[in-house]
Amino acid sequence: MLKIQWDMKAGQEAVFRANQAAPCEVMLEHPGAICYHADYPSPRVSEWTEIYATDEAFEAHLANEKGKGPLAKVIEACDKISYQCWGNLNGSSKEIRAGFGTTCHETAKSAFVLNPRADKDSPI
């Protein structure tokens, strides 16, 4: 699971928002990308939460050509990016995330569960 806080440069809010949607759309091409949520708690701050089933799903999402350009514009529109990660990362995923200045954290025992039977079409 990833939590990212994007602190935007003054005057770059429109550029950020225009490009934020592309990674969200790209994740739909990756079944291992479980959740992608972006919100705006203040005018120049966006907070994202992303959940991936595996490191490989994260890597595939990040490598998708459709998202690379918009992600680069999102990054360029920011003064500061705070990137937190939870989970057991493999070697290549650690390298990718280190490039973002990621801090890795331990999840408390029994504090995070992905339902293996989750069904988006469930009536209950």
Q: Is 116 a member of any domain?
A: no
CA distance 105 to 93: 15
Domain containing residue 74: CATH number: 3.30.70.100
The domain of 94 spans 2-105
Q: Is residue 123 part of a domain?
A: no
pLDDT at 114 exceeding the cut of 90: no
Segment 85-101 shows an average pLDDT of 71
Q: To the nearest 5 percent, what fractions of the chain are helix, strand and coil?
A: 35, 30, 35
Q: Quick count: other Cβ atoms within 10 Å of Cβ 26?
A: 21
Residues 87, 2 contacting (CB under 8 angstroms): no
Residue 111 lies in a domain: no
- Write the pLDDT tens digit of every residue in 13-38: 999 999 998 888 888 888 888 888 99
Q: Is 120 part of any domain? A: no
* pLDDT, averaged across the chain: 85
The answer as to whether 119 is a domain residue is no
Sheet holding 103-105, edge to edge: 33-42, 45-52, 2-8, 78-86, 103-105
Quote the pTM value. 0.82
Neighbouring C-beta atoms of residue 80, cutoff 10 Å:
11
Place of tokens 């350009």: 69
In sequence order, which residues have a C-beta less than 8 Å from that of residue 53 and are 6 or more positions away? 31, 32, 33, 34, 114
Provide the domain count of the chain.
1
110 backbone dihedrals φ, ψ, rounded to 5°: 60, 25
Residue 124 within a domain: no
